[in-house]
Amino acid sequence: MAKAATRQDQNADDADPEDQAPERALDEGKLFDYITGRAVKDNDKEQVRQRIARAIIHEYGIAAEDMEPDFKVKVSGKNRKLDIAVFRPGTEHTAENLYRAVIVEKELKVGTKGAYRMRDPDEASKEFAVLDAVMSEVASCNYGLWTNGLEFFFFQKEVTRFDIWFKPIGDWPMGDDTIGTREAASLARMRPADPAMLRTAFRRCHNYIHGNEGMPKDAAFWQFLYLIFCKMYDERRRGEQRVFWAGADEPFDPAGQKEIRRRIAPLFEEVKRAYPELFKGNEEITLSDRALAFIVSELSRYDFARTEVDAKGAAYQEIVGNNLRGDRGQYFTPRGAIRLVVQILAPQETETVLDSSCGTGGFLVEVLNHLNRTFYAEKQLKAGDENTQEFISIRDRLANYATHKLYGADFDPFLVRAAQMNVMMAGNALGQLYHMNSLEFPLGHLPGVKVAKDEIPLGSIDLIMTNPPFGSDIPITERTILEQYELARRWERQGEGFVMTQALKPAVSPEVLFIERCIQWLKPKGRLGIVLPDGILGNPGDEYIRYWILRHCWVLASIDLPVECFIVEANVNILTSLLFLKKKPIEVIQAEDLGNKQDYPVFMAVAEKVGFDRRGNTLYKRQPDGDEILVDATFEEKVRIGGRLHVRTLHRKTRILDDDLPEIARAYAEFRTKHPEPGK
């Protein structure tokens, strides 16, 4: 097999290689300040500061040039240091022009089994001493933020005749001083979410419910999802006033908290009536007024429709993966592997896509992400540059695809529901997802079977991408299922091939049957990308399976994945491969049975690095001496100054993610330019 090549001009932020300067070395233990571009020491606190700095630029529309790290302010004769100082646009970086102040502490480490009880401003008041002192002393400093990466406390200064008050608020205003709440209740005042900050917001919401409300993790998860769905539904209501919002003061006032509930309760009832396929009707939002206000305040600031599909999918998957892991071989697929499968299969707007064991919908959402990028490329647009008409056009195309071309099935009803919400968040519409046993289909008693028989009969799908449950510890033993499959029977060697007998095996691993079921589901010349344990492709005892595959399919590609993929994502130490197949029409199979076989090239690669190690730590490319490689890259930052949106080009240094998968995708595309798919 060919080892996957690496490419030094590819960086984690996908900057255009043409805009990059020659490589430089980044010293061990260093990262680069997002504000200044200079190297700083990498530690837990610095990682939080960089995340906040990026959010201030991207979410609040404040220019990096109007910010300064480690800014010293003299207070009562003593120097006080601000982790981030924000100055009025275009002014000198002096205390007289200081406008906003940020204090950062290192991020809290909360285990997956535990929960941190989120504090209110009174409970955390001792943390704000430096912030209070600076805001009191500096007349121009109107806003403050204290954060430890999980807790965020925003403040606004109010000066009266006799005193100075620091009022907790739900959020900072934008760079042009507009608050994105009821006082400016238009979609224009919500903002697209920075990917890292959206993941943080989702973690904060789920942790608040789990830690402060005392709910079990699964119950907290569903309460959070109910509110996510309310938020999405509220954004979709055209011509109606938004009701999913929180005023700046409401989350901190009991009367304001009750007002939020008064708005949200009827909205959730409307959501349940609108989506009877997702809700039984007896679901309730059981959060306290305080918790409900917290969640609404966190989510209402973001425009989900304009937030990148990939950012929403990553944030959602981080929460869902910690709450819905099953015990039936349900190993949620790493996002890098999902992206590689979609890039290689390259779904078109006209093609139907099915995930026959969809889990939480990772493949389905990445298909929407792929098509969303395709639609923007067709119009020669970058996300964020489109006008309202262009945005609505692309959004509606994506929603139409999700509604009519995107299919999924899973045996677990909770996963089906979670996947539907994931698809809804990504595509602004529900996909066609069915609660059923794909291996039993078209038989079975589960509620999705009847509709699926009409919508996706065997032989009707263009593309299938899936990571089926696998393992000998969860065998399929039901005779009514096994009887549907050739691979469930005993095979005997005959010459260079095999002959199927009529004897059924008593038990078969599910991944073996999923191979055959997926091929059955495809149209002739339909394509499949499937995650399989390496044994299928290499064990001598499984040679009859490979014989069956080669008789019914052309093999497009085989890609070995490293063990890190599933150790990090599912805590499972297993070697897997991605196998890509194309279904042969029956006339081709018949011709080949008569000896008319034609050779064709197969793409093969081995991924050794996937961007993280076995502990989940991010890996970057290094020089032979061990120093991390750094490249200069060009970024366009959109900043709002004086109420107007400006685009400025910034040159920043960035590390290169040590990930072979993007390079494998490029290598496959190049391979196909020289070697067209068989069966074309």
Domain boundary among 300, 333, 365: 300
What six digits make up the tokens of 573? 């130490």
Does a structural domain hold residue 209?
yes
Give the pLDDT confidence score for residue 32 in this predicted structure. Answer: 72
Same domain, 201 and 163: no
Q: Is the pLDDT higher at 629 or at 360? A: 360
More confident residue, 18 or 251: 251
Residues 421 and 564 in one domain: yes
Angle between helices 289-300 and 217-236 (to 10 degrees): 50
CA atoms lying within 13 Å on the CB side of residue 644:
5
Mean pLDDT, range 596-606, rounded to an integer? 94
pLDDT at 177: 62
> Is the same domain home to 454 and 553?
yes
CB 327 within 8 A of CB 302: no
* Residues 156 and 204 placed together within one structural domain of the fold: no
12-41 CB burial, b ≥16 within 10 A, e <16 = beebeeeebeeeeebeeebbbbbbbeeebe
Q: Does 105 lie in the same domain as 164?
A: yes
Position 238 in a domain: yes
Kindly report the average pLDDT of the chain as a whole number: 85
Asked if the structure places residue 142 within a domain, the reply is: yes
Q: 10 Å Cβ neighbour count for 576?
A: 26
* Span of 413-422, 443-452, 520-529 with lowest mean pLDDT: 413-422
What is the predicted pLDDT for the residue at 4? 39
pLDDT at 622 over 60: yes
Domain that holds residue 379: 325-474+511-595
Same domain, 149 and 204: no
pTM, two decimals, is 0.82
* Residue 327 predicted with pLDDT over 50: no
With a cut of 50, say whether residue 410 has pLDDT above it.
Answer: yes
Q: Which of 574, 595, 616 represents a domain boundary (last residue)?
A: 595
Q: Judge whether residue 186 has pLDDT over 60.
A: no
What is the number of other CB atoms lying within 10 angstroms of the CB of residue 504?
14
Return the pLDDT at 179: 47
* H or E, element range at 304: none
Q: What is the pLDDT of residue 487?
A: 96
Once rounded to an integer, what is the mean pLDDT over residues 61-75? 89
Instruction: Identify whether the C-beta of residue 183 lies closer than 8 Å to the C-beta of residue 174.
Output: no
Instruction: Identify the top-confidence range among 311-315, 420-424, 558-562.
Output: 558-562
What is the pLDDT, as a whole number, of residue 509?
93
Average the pLDDT over 192-211 and give the result: 84
Place of tokens 């240091």: 81
d(CA 491, CA 505): 10
Tell me what pLDDT residue 557 has.
97
Rounded CA separation 545/555 (Å): 13
pLDDT at position 266 over 50: yes
Residue that terminates a domain, selected from 595, 613, 630: 595
Q: Is the pLDDT confidence value at 628 over 80?
A: no
Same domain, 467 and 584: yes
Model confidence at 9, pLDDT cuts 50, 70, 90, reads very low
Q: Are residues 466 and 558 in the same domain?
A: yes
Percent of the chain with pLDDT over 70: 87
Q: Write the CATH number for 558.
A: 3.40.50.150
Both 154 and 239 in one domain: the answer is no
Of the listed ranges 47-56, 265-274, 313-322, 572-581, the least confidently predicted one is 313-322
393-421 burial code (b ≥16 CB/10 A, e <16): ebbebbbebbeebbbbbbbbebbbbbbbb
Give the mean model confidence (pLDDT) for residues 300-329.
74
Residue 584 lies in a domain: yes
Cα 402 to Cα 62, 336, 365, 427, 484, distances in angstroms: 35, 22, 9, 6, 30
Same domain? 439 vs 584: yes
SS3 528: strand
Give the confidence band of 2 by pLDDT, cuts at 50, 70, 90.
very low
**Is residue 397 pLDDT above 50, yes or no?**
yes
- The more confidently predicted of residues 633 and 552 is 552
Q: Per residue in 113-150, pLDDT tens? A: 556 788 889 999 999 999 999 999 999 999 999 999 88
Residue with tokens 């406008």: 99
Q: Give the pLDDT of residue 368.
A: 96
Phi and psi dihedrals of 514, rounded to 5? -65, -35
Do both 139 and 203 map to the same domain?
no
Reported as a single tens digit per residue, the pLDDT across 14-41 is 333 333 334 455 566 777 787 887 778 8
The pLDDT of residue 10 is above 50? no
- pLDDT at residue 20 in the model: 34
How many domains would you assign to the chain? 3
Q: Domain check: are 337 and 444 in the same one?
A: yes
pLDDT band at 610 (very low <50, low <70, confident <90, very high): confident
Range of weakest confidence among 83-87, 208-212, 462-466, 542-546: 208-212
For residue 114, the model assigns a pLDDT of: 56
Integer Cα distance of 567 and 550 in angstroms: 31
